[in-house]
Amino acid sequence: MEIRDDRASTALLTDQYELTMVAAALADGSAHRRCTFEVFARRLPSGRRYGVVAGTGRLLEAMTRFGFGDRELAVVTPFLDSRTVDWLREFRFTGEIDGYREGELYFPGSPILSVRGSFAECVVLKTLILSVLNHDSAIASAAARMVSAAAGRPMIEMGSRRAHELAAPSSSRAAYLAGFDATSNLEAVRSFGVPGAGTSAHAFTLLHCGADGAHEAEAFRSQVAALGVGTTLLVDTFDITRGVATAIEVAGPELGGVRIDSGDLGVLARQVREQLDGLGATATRIVVSGDLDEYAIAALRAEPVDVYGVGTSLVTGSGAPTAGMVYKLVEVDGVPVAKRSSHKQSRGGAKKAMRLARSTGTIIEEIVYPAAGPRPDTGGSDSRELLVPLVRDGKAIEGLPTLTESRDLVARGLVSLPWEGLKLSAGEPAVPTTFVS
């Protein structure tokens, strides 16, 4: 790939042993053997019924910056021979990549990415590929469950403070991909065009409480004056009932929204809705936040909640902060290879995959089959090939899906699941996967 000089190299986001393996493989000539590496997850996180592929767009961009300049070579020269250093200096990925579209659902064993090229050029990308896909897919997979639990109500991602500062924008992007509507993170707005959103914080109310006691009204008045009556006021700093009354007193019944960030959100939402309606603020929206996860969101389905704000559980993958994908060598010079250690057996050989669906669109099975073999008989079911070209001659294919298009793909994917696939409870993958050998 062509290296763009305007942003930092990604070449050191790599494990040392990848480069020492390249050194040994350059020395014995095996570095140039044609290889296929595949990315897959042996299993979904405990009890999950599907995963969402995410990060592909970020990965392809990061690969354009994977090059070794003087700064990078200074780090690796102490433990590499000069032949390897020279090879790294000239390194450009020149191979091919096929993969599941970003936003596609996946299941255990789905060959999400297939990377072909020389051993050396494929192996040096291992850590970068897995880091991006494991992180983003973990977040998108958790986010999709939250989105389906919210049943169409808008959701704002606001978890940046509970994530690494440079991972947070990627989390916002993955959440948006999975169906969230907006993010609080400004870098995600800049880098990825995710719509921004925000309400207010307890600190702003407390700022207006000086020596003469609480002046919640003063804080609300100031916020409405600065941000307009469409703003969302945070009403739970002291007493919620009084906070709501003050909010409508100050802003009038045209107030955009109130946010509740603590307490029993279901009970409070009902009380606040009743109070707002009684005050004539029938269009004022109720935003709830505070340690929401997919289960809490689902539990609020019957309550008069208008918007969910989700933080910690989103950016931590709701119990599964990494997707557990691996990057395995499956073919060398056209011959399938696989390790045979206990419990970690892999399936050798380059693979393709297709997904079978009823005529209604509901998916029924995923079939993984040898790339070199014939396309399996689908018994008359509708079927769709899952791997599409992503990179050719080291360059990303033109016209790959935009983030918005990938977001649509997730939405269509969720609709295509059998009913039990959308259950939040622990269970088996939503559809079985057949491995044809």
251 binds its own copies, rule: CB under 8 A? no
Nearest 5°: the CA angle 78, 84, 87 is 130
Q: Tell me, residue by residue from 215 to 234, as one string, x for binding to its own copies by CB under 8 A and - for no binding.
A: ---x---xx-xxx-------
Return the residue of 4, 43, 92, 339 that touches its own copies, per CB under 8 A: 339
User: Residue 232 is inside which H or E element, if any?
Assistant: strand 232-234
The answer to the question of residue 124 lying near its own copies (CB under 8 A) is no
The footprint of its own copies on residues 70-89 (CB under 8 A) is 71-72, 74-76, 79, 81
Q: Would you count residue 395 as binding its own copies (CB under 8 A)?
A: no
Tell which one of 77, 271, 275, 312 touches its own copies (CB under 8 A).
Answer: 312
190 in contact with its own copies (CB under 8 A): yes
List the one residue from 205, 284, 289, 416 that touches its own copies (CB under 8 A): 205
CB atoms within 10 A of CB 342: 5
Distance from CA of residue 51 to its chain's centroid?
A: 10
Q: Which is nearer to its own copies, 326 or 357 (CB)?
A: 326
Sole window of 140-148, 331-339, 351-359, 389-397 interacting with its own copies (rule: CB under 8 A): 331-339
CA angle 391, 394, 397 (to 5 degrees): 35
- According to the binding rule CB under 8 A, does residue 238 interact with its own copies? yes
Interface with its own copies, residue 341, by CB under 8 A: yes
> Does residue 239 interact with its own copies by CB under 8 A?
yes
- What is the 3-state secondary structure of 302-366? CCCCCEEEECHHHHCHHHCCCCCEEEEEEEECCEECCCCCCCCCCCCCCEEEEEEECCCCCEEEE
Interaction between residue 165 and its own copies (CB under 8 A): yes
C-alpha dist (Å) from residue 333 to 22, 170, 189: 17, 36, 44
Closest to its own copies by CB, 177 or 363: 177
Minimum CB distance to its own copies smaller for 267 or for 302 = 267
**Quick one: 36 or 416, whose CB is closer to its own copies?**
36
User: Number of C-alpha atoms within 13 angstroms, CB side, residue 103?
Assistant: 21
Q: Are 145 and 336 in contact (CB under 8 A)?
A: no
Binding residue for its own copies, selected from 48, 65, 126, 352, defined by CB under 8 A = 126
Smallest distance from its own copies to CB 111, Å: 16
CA 255, CA 233: separation in Å to the nearest integer? 8
Decide whether 198 or 304 has the Cβ nearer to its own copies: 198
Which 4-63 positions form the footprint of its own copies (CB under 8 A)?
10, 12-21, 23-25, 27-28, 30, 33, 35, 37, 62
Residue 300: helix, strand or coil by DSSP? coil
Q: Which amino acid is at 61?
A: E
